[in-house]
Chain A
């Protein structure tokens, strides 16, 4: 190794070290920021939901004096929270399945057929996403009053289906478009009729798309506030409308904390699921040779 080579090596090592050190500092910074930005607030919510009503939590106590499930108990037994949870969880799966069923033929047409005006049709199918949902909800409530349709569950169901169908159409269009034509031709070649082709090729190959669309719509429906609030109030409550009632002008902090945590449950389940997916991908850096 010549002196010049050695110098080079040292120079390279130090620039390499620098890059790594910068990355490490950035990571540390981001972890710190996200601690304040994301995890601290969530931890605070968890703590607040456990504050015992008998001894309030106030400055300068770093932690609440007494912890108990009294708030959870109280909300569960004395408010309409159980009904709201029931409503939300009755609504979301139904919205998911109806939206997927209605979206399927359209997604098939978008993904596998050529026709004039297809791109316009695809843009039109995104309309519910680009219209302000709060205004849509208010106008839709007028429509329902005019039609004298007062079933709140069905009203919200219809609203949610239309509101979230664009996601289903979008995801399923990609799924259907990605099924290789060769496979379909091969199946035809082996005398599979339309039904057999659907069952043996389209269904298994688009299943991941259906699963992710269902999960997404489920979560969106659980979280949805505007339609549920406008169409449901006052007597039909969902988890978000209950939470809203504890936020707005009369802020009931501990109750809001409890309901927030309940509302976040399905997302946390999904997050864990995603983490596992990420874990299987591996975290080490890849290098191309």
Chain B
């Protein structure tokens, strides 16, 4: 078990493409961190740099106290679980697990002991002598996991390990992974583009976009307090709109918006006068239309979808026809299109995002 500390890592490929821009990431020993982002955001590059398959253009990678930046992968105390599993097709499950132990020249009894423990950890004792082709996708995934665990690495690197499993299995393996991590105590760096996976598993989520970390923090924190439109939109669903800060008293701000004048409660001050704001569809409360109080507005419904546990409602504010709003009502029936509903948002549930950048004159998109 060791902390991992990535500092100012940049990566430029031979063809000139810059995949990472001075990225810094750190995980405490035994922590589970996730690199989350759309494809091409650099998360896999970052993982491969930590594994040692790539060499960074700039920056350092530390494992515990040791600078491992220049070490080849075979000398690093990390083990990777590949998206494709990368099982050796000509070896049995046991052969795959044993491969790395043989490379380390561990004494035979120790090898056998570790094989048994790893197989037991992923409940694959019955499949030990099968080759990868004879195993199901889920079983292959477990062999890949067991192979990494048997190395007793300080850090396990996961490259979208669940993306080839079906939805049900994926949910199950999520819990098992967390349990294994607690049992074996390794530090985990987990790459995924699936926000639900990231939120469900991680201690800390690093959200990446275009080779940069755009926000990081515990899952609740970045879900509740996104700092940009990208984060708000990538993690869950958000109503994003433009606003202008009119006044404030303490942490209470008054903002003009397409929904009329809104009160916003925020301990983070707005980054500019003109800026983006957002709120989550599930934070809207239905109110009686007469009240007309704080942060209330009327919504003309254009479409609604009943999803069982909630109802997804799309519409626009009655005095802003070109703004589309999405509201998720819990334990509510269908809402007929054409009707008007009245909703309210708690000031504490509205977030300031980044400033609106006015396009320079003479430059068109």
Contact = CB atoms under 8 A, between A and B. Distances in A.
Interface of A: 1-2, 4-5, 8-9, 11-12, 15-16, 284-287, 289
Contact of B17 (A8, A284, A289): A289
A12 B55 contact: yes
A8 B56 contact: yes
Contacts of A4: 60, 67
A285 B13 CA distance: 11
B62 to A, nearest CB: 10
Contacts of A12: 55-57, 70
Interface string B206-223: 000000000000000000
B14 A287 contact: yes
A5 B60 CA distance: 6
A5 B55 contact: no
| Max chain B Cβ within 10 angstroms of own Cβ: one of A11, A284, A285, A287 | A287
Given A2-B60, A8-B60, A12-B57, 20 more contacts: A1-B8, A1-B58, A4-B67, A5-B58, A5-B59, A8-B69, A9-B57, A9-B58, A11-B70, A12-B56, A12-B70, A15-B55, A16-B55, A286-B15, A287-B13, A287-B14, A287-B17, A289-B19, A289-B40, A289-B44
B256 interface: no
Contact of B45 (A9, A16, A289): A289
Nearest to A286: B15
Nearest to A285: B14
B337 to A, nearest CB: 39
A2 B15 CA distance: 26
A9 B67 CA distance: 14
Interface in B57-98: 57-60, 67, 69-70
B8 A5 contact: yes
A286 B14 CA distance: 9
A2 B72 CA distance: 22
B18 to A, nearest CB: 10
Contacts of A9: 57-58
B15 A287 contact: yes
A12 B71 CA distance: 11
Contacts of B45: 289
A284 B15 CA distance: 9
A289 B19 CA distance: 7
Contacts of B59: 5, 8
B211 to A, nearest CB: 10
A1 B7 CA distance: 11
Nearest to B45: A289
A8 B59 CA distance: 7
Contact of A289 (B8, B13, B55, B58): B13
11 contacts: A2-B60, A4-B60, A5-B7, A5-B8, A5-B58, A8-B59, A8-B70, A9-B57, A287-B13, A287-B14, A289-B17
Contacts of A284: 15
Contacts of A2: 8, 60
B58 A8 contact: yes
A258 B80 CA distance: 61
Contacts of A1: 8, 58
A1 B307 CA distance: 52
Contacts of A5: 7-8, 58-60
Contacts of B8: 1-2, 5
A9 B10 CA distance: 10
Contacts of A15: 55
A36 B245 CA distance: 79
Contacts of A286: 15
Contacts of B17: 287, 289
Contacts of B55: 12, 15-16
A286 B59 CA distance: 24
Nearest to A287: B13
Contacts of B13: 287, 289
A8 B42 CA distance: 20
Nearest to B13: A287
Instruction: Name the residue among B7, B45, B55 with the largest chain A CB count within 10 angstroms.
Output: B55
Contacts of A287: 13-15, 17
A15 to B, nearest CB: 7
Contacts of B15: 284-287
Nearest to B55: A12
A143 to B, nearest CB: 45
B42 to A, nearest CB: 8
A65 B19 CA distance: 61
Contacts of B70: 8, 11-12
A226 B57 CA distance: 59
A276 B15 CA distance: 24
